[in-house]
Amino acid sequence: MAAELQQENKLAKLIGNFLVSRLSLADLQHLAAKKKVPVHKHSLWYYMGGITMIYFAVQVVTGILLMVYYVPEINAAHASILKINSQIDFGWFIRSLHSWGSTLMILSAAVHLFSSFFMRAYRQPREITWWAGLVLMILCLAFGFTGYLLPWDDLSFFATKVGLDITAKAPLVGGLLGPLLKGGNMISQATISRFFGIHVAILPLTLISLLAVHLMLVQSHGMSEPAAFADTPPEKRRYEPFFPDFFFKDMLVWILALNVLFVLVVLFPWGVGPEANPFAPAPIGIKPEWYFLGAFQFLKLIPPMVGPIEGELFGILAMSLVGLGFLIMPFIDNGSQRRRALLATIYGVAVVLGLIFLSIWGALS
Ligand code: HEM
């Protein structure tokens, strides 16, 4: 028995050495061994990026499977979704994984954004990691927006129409982006073709490339340390190696995250509404997906004209200014003054509370 074990160990070592040398993994091994993760009472937030990543992996796998049966044509899209939901073995399961997965991915990316913000991970030297993250968040929302139209049911059709009308009014880019996405004056075959291409090719390629940069930077800078932790004497600071300690905990958290997804999928399988009729009036009380509800409600509150500016344009400008705050935060709060740090916290809390409040209001009204 002992001899057999020794033999197996030898074989494993041999294969390990072969892979390390042939794939030039030594640099990667060195990088993984070098990285240490700070241990403190806010360490929990270090798992949020990984959770977002595992949900993204689910989206890629289930998205490829859905492509086998989905037909991106206005006369066949809805029927292909009905077929996936009721005739293809486990089709409902794969589709629900993809739909619930999108919700959980956007939610975890948003929690990751705000937790990185409150940990002040945007400060030097992580500015580019932060900006890459902001673009990743926009890409996640773009995935949600383009995917929502694809089932071609009445809700998805009219919500997309509202979204595209708002996009067309955006300053600078709206005039170009609106017609470019729509592919004409109204939502048609051209729109579904464009949304499908963006959803299954342009967005995944862009997100994967940017994610590679994001992760490379995280790996080379190491995890940020909250001020209270960085200010404690070195002998009292605790770290754990990224590999294997943190990595194995990461995997455990991924299993938990996948369980949350499976429970939602099994208890609340994703439905499909009646087929879209572009010539019918919009259903009353139409609302976008939850992640656009805050912005939607905000725009609804603004009067048709604000001084000389059209209300919707004013609203979009106001929201762009809030976004700009996140973009320039590394310059405003660079760690040099406590006053600026306080300002950043107030800003972050105001945005989170505002978003939650407007989203709940939007959902209830
Ligand atoms: C597809 C979306 C995203 C994925 C898959 C992702 C993935 C990750 C991972 C795995 C980490 C390392 C572990 C962690 O700190 O959680 C990380 C770190 C980081 N992410 Fe993201 N991220 C995404 C979006 C974002 C967004 C939206 C932001 C904010 C604008 C952001 C900003 C950061 C920052 C600043 C760090 C460094 C954290 C630190 O050093 O404490 N990421 N990301």
CA distances from 30 to 24, 36, 245 (A): 11, 12, 15
Measured from the CA of 52, which atom of ligand 1 is nearest? 5
Q: What is the residue extent of each domain of the chain?
A: 45-276, 287-365
Angle, in degrees to the nearest 10, between helices 174-182 and 189-197 = 100
Q: Which CATH number fits domain 287-365: 3.40.109.10, 3.30.420.40, 3.10.580.10, 1.10.287.980?
A: 1.10.287.980
pLDDT at res. 1: 60
Same topology, domains 45-276 and 287-365? Answer is: no
What is the whole-number distance in angstroms between the Cα of residue 113 and the centre of ligand 1?
7
Quick check: pTM over 0.85?
yes
Is omega for the bond preceding 244 within 30 degrees of 0, making it cis?
A: yes
- What residue's CA is closest to ligand 1, atom 35? 130
Separation between Cα atoms, residue 180 and residue 174, nearest integer Å:
9
Residue 2 makes CB contacts below 8 A (sequence gap 6+) with none
| Other beta carbons less than 10 A from residue 249's beta carbon | 16
CATH number, span 45-276: 1.20.810.10
Average pLDDT per run of 10 along the chain, which is 365 residues long? 76 92 85 88 97 98 98 97 98 98 98 98 98 98 98 94 90 86 92 98 98 95 93 94 94 98 98 93 88 97 94 95 98 95 98 98 94
Name the residue among 154, 163, 159 with its Cα closest to residue 181.
163
- What residue's CA is closest to ligand 1, atom 42? 133
Angle, in degrees to the nearest 10, between helices 2-22 and 26-34 = 100
CA distances from 294 to 57, 101, 198, 297, 319 (A): 27, 20, 24, 5, 11
pLDDT at res. 241: 93
What is the whole-number distance in angstroms between the Cα of residue 202 and the centre of ligand 1?
21
3-state SS assignment for residue 169: coil
pLDDT at res. 79: 98
| Other beta carbons less than 10 A from residue 94's beta carbon | 21
pLDDT at res. 8: 77
